Amino acid sequence: MTIRKQRAPTLEDVAREARVSLKTASRVLNGSENVRKEKVTKVRAAMARLGYRPNELARSLMTRKSGAIGIVVANLANPFVIKVIKEVQEVARSNGYVVIITSSEGQPEVERSEIESLVRRQIDGLIIAPATTGWKHLSPILPMHIPVVTFDQLIRGSNLDSVIITNRQSAAEATQHMLDHGFRRVVAIGTRPHLYTSRERVAGYRKSMTQANLKPRECLVAHESLLTAKWLEAEVLGEHAADAIFSLNWVSTQRVLRGLRDLGIRGGQDIPLLSFDDFDLGDVLTPGLSVVQQPSDLLGRESARLLFERLKGDGVQPSRRILLPARLVIRESCGCRLIMEPNATLPSGLQRLPERGHSRRI
Amino acid sequence: MTIRKQRAPTLEDVAREARVSLKTASRVLNGSENVRKEKVTKVRAAMARLGYRPNELARSLMTRKSGAIGIVVANLANPFVIKVIKEVQEVARSNGYVVIITSSEGQPEVERSEIESLVRRQIDGLIIAPATTGWKHLSPILPMHIPVVTFDQLIRGSNLDSVIITNRQSAAEATQHMLDHGFRRVVAIGTRPHLYTSRERVAGYRKSMTQANLKPRECLVAHESLLTAKWLEAEVLGEHAADAIFSLNWVSTQRVLRGLRDLGIRGGQDIPLLSFDDFDLGDVLTPGLSVVQQPSDLLGRESARLLFERLKGDGVQPSRRILLPARLVIRESCGCRLIMEPNATLPSGLQRLPERGHSRRI
DNA sequence: CTGAAAGCGCTAACAC
DNA sequence: GTGTTAGCGCTTTCAG
């Protein structure tokens, strides 16, 4: 009756409608025990009649909990990132939280301002795939008591909770695998050399190369846009002609494959190729793409778990770091052909994955 | 000095620190003209000294604008969806908005509750890729004065702003293209027959088949999980052996390709294949995947544009519907081989895209 | 130009 | 069990 015109009904409207006090209505809304059943029913009815929707913003202002967490990533196009987000989202939802996603485009500047914006919106927690390895541009948010979890990249000198994968070891394994094929001039191709992941993967690559008494040769571009056919021709296929390629991340693999194609070279066939990061169609490519597969789902879940554990538990737990194993998924682009006997062992004792039934042709 | 312990500084703290009134501080914060320069400086300094961050929630409560929009999609794994989100995000950011992303997993139930949650958080606008064609479960949010834009799917009986693509026409074109190759038993494979997009695409397919005096034969599964190798063998390759496949969406293409592979059949090579929706590596597959490519970037931008036009403009504009053209991208999996003369015309007069330089081998 | 007072929609303390 | 009184941190009247 006495509803303020043109405005969504408030709890006060509900209380009036149900002829109870504001606080009683509030108690019903929050499922408090201390209300007579009779009144609960009345309030519920009033809510339904009015089409009442609680204003979470008002509630947040009082409780100092927004029920939102933020996630900042570098590149929304990367399926790996998406899978992580998807998992985080799921965990968040099951905890009654929403997630605000922002993208830094790999630029620290943008990252900073996005985080700032999230903090102003009073997010309760933050998950970041840092755009750089630096700590300076992030420290301004530390003084606040908001929990932060980083994944993918590690931030130097911080002691934030973090979830990372076995970059170095997996890169070493992958390189070793190609070496076991007999390739000698395996070239590592990647982007953004300053990133933690790049550095680690390169280190793993170098280790395997050096151990085999081979000269490591990594070709990293500052930005993916530089990874063109022309560049490939000059840097990778030119004088020091590579006899195999180890691509260090998703975007570089995509670029390499395109570049090679433009040169009339079939990646993985004319020249062996192993990729750090898998693709949606990686298993149906011809030949199947051999990859180091990141445990993206697990990564997302663990990141979210760390965050929510801090959000629930009030104690001052020590910071935790989780290291997740990446998995070498051997298909064919690395030079493997499925012609071996059922019990034959693979180069470095890997297990064959039964992923390409038809590949038993040569 | 007199900062409340352990709490983020408020505007009141700033005012006290700067020895001005709360309102003056507020004016400075909002860049109001009517403040003496001298005071502006003092307030700014106080803000910096205190490390003040405005609380957007409190502001929102008063202004009734949360500065957030929501977006609800069916499947975060779909690259098409991701591209749309990415664009929306960008537009939102340039308007000073954040976007809250939620996923309905294709279930109307979930969709409803996610929207409810967003509305409670006072989002200013909503972009939806509806999980169904129905209107009932969405109408509860209409009474509110929050602008809604739908994309991808169309909702029957609503007059919401919407952005869709030429599903029917493009499907007809694609089918016709395969028919022009001489295939007679083109089978359409898809998922979730009740969806608007599925129905439209099937309609386009049927049109081309019927016009050619051929019997349409569409095989749709209720859920993608049913699209297995076994199912393919029984339904598509069995008695009425298909001589070409038209896959109606991203997920079905992925499933079809995997299923065929498991049967020892190379999709696009042993059996021609055309896909509605492109893939990250669609152009480097062997053979290259011929696809109907959705203008996902444009779709995202237009959806966001419609929404923000409503958010800014206060007038009661009539609802708008934008129809965007999908593009037939011919590579090779449809049966095309790049052996024709430079000036030869393609089957239905399409333009060859110069995407696969090396394919000039048969 | 500036400031005091009121209040956005809700919850946290206390009383009753 | 219930209602009253204060606010949360900010913006909006509306006087000066």
- In a domain, residue B3? The reply is no
Q: Are residues A115 and A259 in the same domain?
A: no
- In a domain, residue B38? The reply is yes
Closest CA to A163 of A314, A297, A312: A297
Q: Are residues A199 and A346 in the same domain?
A: yes
- Chain centroid offset of residue A260 CA: 28
- In a domain, residue A5? The reply is no
Q: What is the pLDDT of residue A33?
A: 81
CA distance to A103, A113, B179, B258, B278, per residue, from B336 (Å): 39, 49, 12, 22, 17
Looking at the complex, does the CB of residue B53 fall below 8 Å from at least one CB of chain A?
yes
Q: Which residues of A48-80 are buried (b: 16+ CB within 10 A; e: fewer)?
A: eebebbbbbbbbbbeeeebbbbbbbbbbbbbbb
Closest CA to A272 of A235, A238, A244: A244
Does residue A227 sit in helix, strand or coil? coil
- Kind of pairing, strands A327-329 and A290-293? antiparallel
- In a domain, residue B256? The reply is yes
A139-160 tens-digit pLDDT = 877 767 899 999 999 998 888 9
- In a domain, residue A107? The reply is yes
Q: What is the pLDDT of residue A271?
A: 95
More confidently predicted of A346 and B290: B290
Looking at the complex, does the CB of residue B144 fall below 8 Å from at least one CB of chain A?
yes
- How distant is the Cα of A107 from the closest Cα of chain B, in angstroms? 14
Q: Are residues B172 and B248 in the same domain?
A: yes
Which nt is closest to the CA of A35, judged by C1'?
Answer: D1
Q: Are residues B151 and B81 in the same domain?
A: yes
> Both tokens of residue B338?
């790049």
CATH of the domain at B21: 1.10.260.40
Q: Are residues B36 and B22 in the same domain?
A: yes
Highest mean pLDDT out of A212-226, A308-322, A346-360: A212-226
Q: Are residues A187 and A290 in the same domain?
A: yes
Cα(B297)–Cα(B303) distance, integer angstroms: 10
pLDDT by residue for chain B (362 residues), tens only, comes to 333 446 889 999 999 999 999 999 999 999 888 888 888 999 999 999 999 999 999 999 999 999 999 999 999 999 999 999 999 999 999 999 999 999 999 999 999 999 999 999 999 999 999 998 888 888 877 767 899 999 999 998 888 999 999 999 999 999 999 999 999 999 999 999 999 999 999 999 999 999 999 999 999 999 999 999 999 999 989 877 899 999 999 999 999 999 999 999 999 999 999 999 999 999 998 889 999 999 999 999 999 999 999 998 866 789 999 999 999 999 999 999 754 444 444 444 444 444 433 332 22
Q: Mutate which of B73, B98, B286 to disrupt the A interface (most A C-beta within 10 Å)?
A: B98
- How distant is the Cα of A14 from the closest Cα of chain B, in angstroms? 16
More confidently predicted of B151 and A337: B151
Is the Cβ–Cβ distance between B177 and B350 less than 8 Å? yes
CATH of the domain at B308: 3.40.50.2300
Cα-Cα end-to-end distance for chain B? 80
Looking at the complex, does the CB of residue A312 fall below 8 Å from at least one CB of chain B?
no
Q: Are residues B304 and B272 in the same domain?
A: no
Does nucleic acid strand D have an atom less than 7 angstroms from the CB of B59? yes
Q: Which one-letter amino acid corresponds to residue B101?
A: I
Residues 6+ apart with CB under 8 A from A24: A15, A35, A39, A43
Please count the structural domains in chain A.
3
Centre a 10 Å sphere on the Cβ of residue A218 and count the other Cβ atoms it contains.
18
- Report A:287-306 residues touching B (Cβ under 8 A): none
- Give A26's strand partners: none
Q: What is the pLDDT of residue B327?
A: 97
Q: What is the pLDDT of residue B140?
A: 75
Q: Which one-letter amino acid corresponds to residue A145?
A: H
Tokens 């755009």 -> residue? A131
Q: Are residues A41 and A25 in the same domain?
A: yes
More confidently predicted of A340 and A187: A187
Cα–Cα–Cα angle for A280, A285, A290, rounded to 5 degrees = 80
Cα(B208)–Cα(B203) distance, integer angstroms: 9
Is the Cβ–Cβ distance between A215 and A275 less than 8 Å? no
Give the residue numbers spanning the domain of B19: 11-54
Q: Are residues A180 and A289 in the same domain?
A: yes
A132: left (phi over 0), alpha (psi -120 to 50) or beta: beta
Q: Are residues A336 and A311 in the same domain?
A: no
Is the Cβ–Cβ distance between B150 and B162 less than 8 Å? yes
Q: Are residues A109 and A206 in the same domain?
A: no
Least confident window among A78-87, A178-187, B151-160, B309-318: B309-318
Cα(A217)–Cα(A194) distance, integer angstroms: 17
Judged by CB atoms closer than 8 Å, whether chains meet at B257 and A76 is answered as no
Give me the mean pLDDT over the A73-88 stretch.
Answer: 95
> Both tokens of residue B343?
């000036």
- pLDDT confidence tier of residue A7, bands split at 50, 70 and 90: confident
Strand D, nucleotides < 7 Å from a protein CB: these are 1-5, 7-13
Looking at the complex, does the CB of residue A286 fall below 8 Å from at least one CB of chain B?
yes
Cα-Cα end-to-end distance for chain A? 80
- In a domain, residue A3? The reply is no
Which residues of chain B neighbour A54 with C-beta distances below 8 Å? 120
> Both tokens of residue B237?
């390759």
Is the Cβ–Cβ distance between B18 and B43 less than 8 Å? yes
Q: Are residues B192 and B254 in the same domain?
A: yes
Looking at the complex, does the CB of residue A79 fall below 8 Å from at least one CB of chain B?
yes
- In a domain, residue B124? The reply is yes
Judged by CB atoms closer than 8 Å, whether chains meet at A98 and B82 is answered as no
- How distant is the Cα of B319 from the closest Cα of chain A, in angstroms? 21
CA distance to B95, B227, B298, B311, per residue, from B149 (Å): 17, 32, 14, 11
Number of residues that make up chain A? 362
Q: What is the pLDDT of residue B314?
A: 67
Report whether the peptide linkage leading into residue A287 is cis, meaning its omega lies within 30 degrees of zero.
Answer: yes
The half-sphere exposure of B207 on its side-chain side, counting CA atoms within 13 A, is 16
A239-282 tens-digit pLDDT = 778 999 999 999 999 999 999 999 999 999 999 999 999 999 99
Tokens 């070496």 -> residue? A179
Backbone angles phi, psi at A99, to 5 degrees: -120, 135
A90: left (phi over 0), alpha (psi -120 to 50) or beta: alpha
Handedness of CA B351, B354, B359, B362 (dihedral sign): positive
- In a domain, residue A202? The reply is yes
Least confident window among A52-56, A198-202, B35-39, B226-230: B35-39
